[in-house]
Structure 1
Amino acid sequence: MADRVPLDFDPPVRQIRALLLGVDDRDLAAPTPCPDWSVAALLDHLMGLSVAFTMAARKRAGAAGTDGPPPEPSAEHLSRHWRSRLPVLLAELSIAWKDPAAWTGTALAGGVTLPATAMGTVAMNELIMHGWDLARATEQDYAADPRALEMLVEFLGQGSADGTPGLFGPRVPVDPEEDLLTRALALAGRDPAWRPPRRRRVPSGTATGG
Structure 2
Amino acid sequence: MSINLTVIKALDDRAVRESIAVVRQVNVEDLTRPTPCSAWNLGQLLAHMTAQHRGFAAAARGDGGDLTHWKAEAPGPEDVGRYVAAAEAVLAAFTEVGTEDQEFALPEFGTGAVFPAIQAIGFHLLDYVVHAWDVTRVLDLPFTADPDVLDAALPIALAVPDGARRTQPGSAFAPSLPSPTDSNALTRILMHLGRPLSWGPAVRSHGSAEMGSAWDGC
TM-score grouping bracket, smaller chain normalisation = 0.7 to 0.9
The answer to whether residue 105 in structure 2 is matched with residue 108 in structure 1 is yes
Inter-partner Cα distance in structure 2 for 1:90 and 1:115: 21
Superposition CA RMSD, Å: 2.6
Q: Which runs of 5+ in 2 are unaligned?
A: 208-218
> Which residue matches 2:88?
91
> Which residue matches 1:153?
154
The answer to whether residue 135 in structure 2 is matched with residue 137 in structure 1 is no
> Measured at CA, do residues 85 and 14 of structure 1 come closer, stay the same or move farther in structure 2, by a change above 3 Å?
same
> Which residue matches 1:206?
none
> Which residue matches 1:167?
172
The answer to whether residue 190 in structure 2 is matched with residue 193 in structure 1 is no
Inter-partner Cα distance in structure 2 for 1:47 and 1:120: 16
Pairwise mapping of residues 1-210 of structure 1 onto structure 2 (< 5 A)? 4-8=6-10, 9-65=12-68, 70-71=70-71, 77-101=74-98, 103-110=100-107, 111=111, 112-162=113-163, 165=166, 166-200=171-205
Inter-partner Cα distance in structure 2 for 1:201 and 1:15: 35
Inter-partner Cα distance in structure 1 for 2:99 and 2:172: 21
Greater Cα shift, 9-18 or 178-187: 9-18
Does the CA contact (< 8 Å) of 1:153 and 1:187 recur in 2?
no
Equivalent pairs counted in the alignment come to 195
Does the CA contact (< 8 Å) of 1:55 and 1:61 recur in 2?
yes
Report which of the two has the higher share of helix: 2
Normalising by structure 2, we get a TM-score of: 0.78
Inter-partner Cα distance in structure 2 for 1:140 and 1:163: 33
> Measured at CA, do residues 43 and 107 of structure 1 come closer, stay the same or move farther in structure 2, by a change above 3 Å?
same
Does the CA contact (< 8 Å) of 1:4 and 1:100 recur in 2?
no
> Measured at CA, do residues 189 and 143 of structure 1 come closer, stay the same or move farther in structure 2, by a change above 3 Å?
same
Q: Which has the larger radius of gyration?
A: 1
> Measured at CA, do residues 169 and 137 of structure 1 come closer, stay the same or move farther in structure 2, by a change above 3 Å?
same
SS class of match (2:95): coil
> Measured at CA, do residues 146 and 58 of structure 1 come closer, stay the same or move farther in structure 2, by a change above 3 Å?
farther
Identity of aligned residues (%): 23
SS class of match (1:97): helix
> Measured at CA, do residues 122 and 192 of structure 1 come closer, stay the same or move farther in structure 2, by a change above 3 Å?
same
> Measured at CA, do residues 159 and 89 of structure 1 come closer, stay the same or move farther in structure 2, by a change above 3 Å?
closer
Does the CA contact (< 8 Å) of 1:185 and 1:191 recur in 2?
yes
Normalising by structure 1, we get a TM-score of: 0.80
Q: Which runs of 5+ in 1 are unaligned?
A: 203-210
Give the CA deviation at 1:97. Answer: 2.0
Does the CA contact (< 8 Å) of 2:14 and 2:149 recur in 1?
no
